[in-house]
Structure 1
Amino acid sequence: MSEPTLSSFSTALQRGPRPLPLFLEMLQTETADAPERRAAALAGLRAYQAAPRPPRPPLPDPIARSGRATLHAYAATGRPVVFVPSLINPPFVLDLAPDNSLLRWLARQGMRPMLVDWGTPEPGDRDQDIDAHVTQLLLPLLDAVPEPPILVGYCLGGTIAVAAATLRPVAGLTLIAAPWHFAGFGDEARARIAALWERAGPTCAALGLVPMEVLQSGFWRMDPARTVTKFERFGELAPDSPRAQAFVALEDWANSGAPLTYAAGRQLLECFFAADLPGSGGWRIDGRTISPDALACPSIDFVAQGDRIVPAASAVGLRAHHPVAAGHVGMVVGSRAPALLWQPLADWISGVPAAR
């Protein structure tokens, strides 16, 4: 059998990592002196593309809408806990599979978890920045909840949740792998992100949107060797094994997602990453400074110690913090997630007094 070539995969794959050309470029660089590794990674990529995919369970019917954003409840009764996901990648990482769902597990513990779905922006939404996601989309959803909920923000959703908790009374706030001090990403990573935006910004401005591939390429360049290695290893798994099925579900999530509005992408990359407005105390919405120091509710920060995407140095630094011995995504959906994050999160929520 002849060795698969890069060009054959660039045209043949209908489902694969996004952006695929960048993956192939990284593959060629990382395996330049190891053709056997290249063949193994390409075989793994082909196996991923051909893997069976059972249908995902649909989101529960929305209980509230605000523009394109919707709020979905995973139980009819119980303590309301609103999960705010990142604007990057879809929200279903919190409900990845029937047997790997933080939200469905919390519902079985007697809580009423709710999930924000940001929806898909159109070019006409280009001027809707992160501030507008808070005031125009998220706050109206929170206002539809009968009592002040506990907010749980994951990744950039945690940054956004701090703003919401500053502007609305909430019973409590939990941050999970949430960036705040963007200087904590380090000079090298921030320089790469600045260069990425310099190249992609004009096209994004013309589109009115920031395609997910633009941001994905930035994440991949943080650790290209790991991106290639995971496909090498996947090719060694039996396609119907639990590990293979878990890989496919997670990789499908990581390689999908709606674009950002142009204004949200610009604010994220220029005002947050470049200028570190949140971490420096310069982020204001409607004249109010957005700061964890202004929070009047119980709050806790779950910080992933092995996070390559949102380094621990970028965390808010709340007095109450819980280190998690996992990575950015593994802390939520990894095999040890129930013990490392789910149960400690449920225990903390159970100890938060009801809002008056």
Structure 2
Amino acid sequence: MTRTPKPEASLPEADSALQHKHAPRPLPLFLELVRIVSETRPQLASKALDGLALYEQAERARQRPERPAIARVGGTSLRDCGGSGAPVVLIPSLINPPHVLDLDDNTSLAAAIAQGGRRSLLLDWGTADDRAELDLAGHIERLLLPLIGQLGERPALVGYCLGGTMAIAAANLAPVERVATLAAPWRFARYPDAGRKSLLTLWNSARPVAIRLEALPMEVLQSAFWSMDPERTVAKFAAFAELDPHGDKARRFVTLEDWANEGEALPYPAARALIEQLFEQDLPGRGEWRVGGRAISDRLSCLSFHITASGDRITPAATAPAGETVQLDAGHVGMIVGSARHRLHQLLQQFLAA
């Protein structure tokens, strides 16, 4: 059994000497996970270090050009991903960059929606500095809803992870055509007790740093994600070491790991609301989460549909909102960019056409 190290919150500059340009963030914690795994599985740990070296040295593909913005509120925008017809707004999480929904030509969910006969619009939250004073409700009230209002017609909303939670809130407050969520949590009390307690412990440790920085560094949230399955975090780098470095699987691994390590800091008010109001108090699940002066419900008056993943540790299927649900045999990110994406695209296109 792998022991999980207690995550330690520290100022980002404290780790800078140990943080390479291309490496898991925070690198010191990753190396500690490898050390712990080495006590019982030395070959796996050794192979993971090989994978880490290969990841650091891997060639990076040229970044896709930024999609044009068709609407803006401050530093937040809707980016046009093509297509015609009624608009679909893709709402990513606040925690990681939005381009996981438009990663490349082979995996892009945004492109799949455009090809399905809809206008595909990807929400880009912009930099954390531009949203520093906003809590979760503020992101919905002052950014998401005004952008929806600029469209001039009712859009469908498709929200991924926390973006799905926010999509449901928006649908309580603005006329939308329908809502689909992908790996979106709503009933936070259904997270494993140990995971919630660990997150709260981490938050209590990190909070003085977050107050000082006016933001929660992404390294803190990454530490929480890794603690859910530390051996799996190590094992994926060991598996990467076995791949053809010039093959599609290796290139996708590099792209995804870069994405996972590029996240913006979370504005302090949003981080506090996420951890205290959602994870600790489960206000959404209890029907007590207030946005725009109203208690928000997951029982929507418009069509709704939820897709979960059986192997998802970040958003367990049990936490999904009420309503029609389909579960895919995938993980939290794999459902978006892995082989399960084909079924996800099919399900979404059917729902959007209904």
Does TM-score exceed 0.5, indicating one fold?
A: yes
TM-score, with structure 2 as normaliser: 0.93
Match of 1:335, as an amino acid? Answer: S
Kept in 1, the 8 Å contact 2:83–2:114? The answer is: no
Deviations 1:303-342 (A, max 9, x none): 1122111001111121x2112121111111102311x201
**Given the alignment of the two structures, is residue 248 of structure 1 paired with residue 251 of structure 2, yes or no?**
no
Show the counterpart of 1:299: 304
2:347 to 344, 347, 352: 344
SS in structure 2 opposite 1:280? coil
TM-score (norm 1): 0.92
| CA shift in 2, pair 1:49/1:151, >3 Å | same
Q: Residue 157 and residue 35 in structure 1: after superposition, are their counterparts in 2 closer, same or farther (change >3 A)?
A: same
RMSD (CA atoms) = 1.4
Q: Give the Cα separation in 1 of the matches to 2:96 and 2:292.
A: 28
Correspondences of 1:35-114 after superposition (within 5 Å): 35-75=42-82, 77-114=84-121
Deviations 1:55-85 (A, max 9, x none): 1212311000011111011125222100110
**1:141 is matched by which residue type in structure 2?**
L
Whether contact under 8 Å (2:84, 2:114) holds in the other structure is no
1:1-356 correspondence runs (5 A)? 11=18, 13-75=20-82, 77-122=84-129, 125-293=131-299, 295-318=300-323, 320-338=324-342, 340-351=343-354
Shift of the 270–149 alpha-carbon distance from structure 1 to 2, 3 Å rule, reads same
Q: Is the 8 A contact 1:158 1:179 kept in 2?
A: yes
Q: Which moved more, 1:27-36 or 1:198-207?
A: 27-36
Report the AA paired with residue 291 of structure 1: S
**Counterpart contact for 1:68–1:121, Cα < 8 Å:** no
- Taking a change above 3 Å as real, the CA distance of residues 206 and 98 of structure 1, as seen in their structure-2 partners, is same
Q: Which amino acid aligns with 2:68?
A: D
Larger deviation, residues 29-38 vs 65-74: 29-38
Partner Cα distance (1:189, 1:317) in 2: 22
SS in 1 for 2:143: helix
Q: Is the 8 A contact 1:57 1:98 kept in 2?
A: no
Runs of 4+ in structure 1 displaced over 4 angstroms? none
Deviation at 1:99, TM superposition (A): 1.7
Kept after mapping to 1: 8 A contact 2:107/2:341: no
- Paired amino acid for 1:334: G
Alpha-carbon shift at residue 12 of structure 1 (Å): 7.8
Shift of 1:22: 0.7
Structure 1: distance between partners of 2:121 and 2:132: 27
In 2, the alpha carbon distance for the partners of 1:228 and 1:77 equals 43
1:27 partner amino acid = V
Contact 2:184 2:320 in 1 (8 A): yes
Note the residue ranges of structure 1 that are not aligned, 5 or more in a row.
1-9, 352-356
CA contact (8 A) 1:159 1:180 kept: yes
The letter of the residue matching 1:140 is: P
Aligned-partner residue type, residue 82 of structure 1: V
Task: Name the SS for the 1:292 alignment partner.
Answer: coil
Inter-partner Cα distance in structure 2 for 1:168 and 1:154: 19
Report the more deviating stretch, 214-223 or 248-257.
248-257
Give the partner amino acid of 1:331: M
Aligned mates of 1:76, 1:350 — CA distance in 2 = 14
Task: Work out whether residues 125 and 208 of structure 1, in 8 Å CA contact, stay in contact via their aligned partners in 2.
Answer: no
C-alpha contact 1:97 1:249 (8 A) present in aligned 2? no
Query: How far off its partner does 1:13 sit?
Result: 3.3
- 1:120-159 Cα offsets, whole Å, 9 max, x none, are 122x743310000001110111011121000001000000
d(CA) in 1 for partners of 2:293 and 2:139? 16
Tell me if structure 1 keeps the 8 A contact 2:109–2:336.
yes
Partner amino acid, structure 2, of 1:326: A
Aligned residues: 338
Q: Verify the 8 A CA contact 2:18 2:28 in the aligned structure 1.
A: no
* 8 Å CA contact 1:56, 1:97 repeated in 2: no
Tell me by how many angstroms 1:350 deviates: 0.7
